[in-house]
Structures are given as C-alpha cells and as structure tokens.
Amino acid sequence: MRPSGFSLVQLENPKLLTLEDAMAARAKLRNAGKKLVLTNGVFDLLHTGHLYYLKEARKLGDALFVAINSDASVRELKGPARPVMTEEQRAYALGALWFVTGIVIFREKRLVPEIRVLRPDIYCKAGDYTLDKLNPEERTELEKCGADIKFLPFLPGFSTTSLIERIRQAGEI
C-alpha cells in the first residue's frame, strides 16, 4: 500500500540496480582490483544502528552493495504489518548515503543467487549475528566464493522493532 500522492513522485535512485547491472558493476570493480563488500537486510525505518553499521561496513572495502529484502519477503519474515516503508522507499533512503555504492532488491527468502553471481570479497553482518546464525545455504555459498565473513559491532538499543514500539507509545501520549 502506497501513501497518498506517492505515485505522483518519481524517486530517482541511480544506486538501485537490477541484479544484471550489479553484476556488471561488480565486474568493473574486480577488473580494477577493488574489493566489494556485500551486506543484506530489511533496513526498514533507517536508524542510527543501521547508519553506524553500514558506514563501518564500507570501510572494509572499496564499494558497498546492500541487498534488501523485497516487500513480500519482509512480510514473510516480520509479519503482515511490515515493512513500514516499501522496497522502493527503503532503497531510496539507502541510496542517499554516500557510503552505499549500490542496492539490489532480492525477492527470494535467501541471498544465495546474489552471492553466487556477485561473489563479494567481504560479506558482513552486524554483531548480533555469528557464523552459526548465518543461513547455512548462504554461508556455504560465501565460503565457495572465498568471501571473508565479518561481523561488525552491534549498537544495543537500536532496532526497527523497538523503534516502532516507541513510536506507538509516543502516539498514545
């Protein structure tokens, strides 16, 4: 469901890439000897924890690609009330960040096809993840392509779920 009047605005986002465009951009990076960092997530209601994490992730390489869950996969993972922002809106917000190089929307439940074709040099997640918490299929694909798997510090107290709850509570005041 789009907010009223949304269809009247065209959100230009040159960083939002099809998988084919991301593959071409990845090839250029590889040919130039540059390292690609890949991360993924929902990134609904961009907050301080997201910003800190993504900025730190970019420091690990020359380019940062962010794969975001499609709206349908977010509903499957988080429930029918999510996402709060559409995939296009979430991609637009991420595209405004200087440290994000490219954004890909993934439509499957898992990131395996994207990992397989992008073959990142580095894959990272926030520190609330561990090797054991990574999806086994994704981990296997990362290991096959030789990606260095990194876990960045997690800022406690910053989550979209807790932010939504705080907004709800603020609305009741």
Does residue 35 form part of some domain? yes
pTM passes above 0.85: yes
Beta-sheet pairing, 63-69 with 36-41: parallel
Q: Give the pLDDT mean for 161-165.
A: 74
Does residue 5 form part of some domain? no
Does residue 80 form part of some domain? yes
CB 146 within 8 A of CB 173: no
Q: Give the pLDDT mean for 72-84.
A: 91
pLDDT at 34: 98
Q: Give the pLDDT mean for 65-72.
A: 97
Other beta carbons within 10 Å of 59: 10
pLDDT at 109: 83
pLDDT at 9: 66
Q: Give the pLDDT mean for 15-25.
A: 97
Does residue 3 form part of some domain? no
At residue 102, φ and ψ (nearest 5 deg) are -155, 155
Give the pair of three-digit tokens for residue 58: 């970019």
pLDDT at 173: 56
Does residue 1 form part of some domain? no
Q: Higher-confidence residue: 169 or 67?
A: 67
pLDDT at 1: 46
Does residue 4 form part of some domain? no
Number of domains the chain contains: 1
Does residue 7 form part of some domain? no
CATH of residue 129: 3.40.50.620
Percent of the chain with pLDDT over 90: 71
CB-neighbour burial class of residue 165 (10 A; exposed 0-12, middle 13-18, buried 19+): exposed
Pairwise CA distance, residues 77 & 108, whole Å: 11
Q: What is the CA radius of gyration of the chain?
A: 16
Question: Domain containing 147: what range?
Answer: 12-171
For residue 91, pLDDT over 90 is answered with yes
Question: Which of 1-5, 6-10, 57-61, 149-153 has maximum average pLDDT?
Answer: 57-61
Does residue 156 form part of some domain? yes
Q: Give the pLDDT mean for 88-102.
A: 97
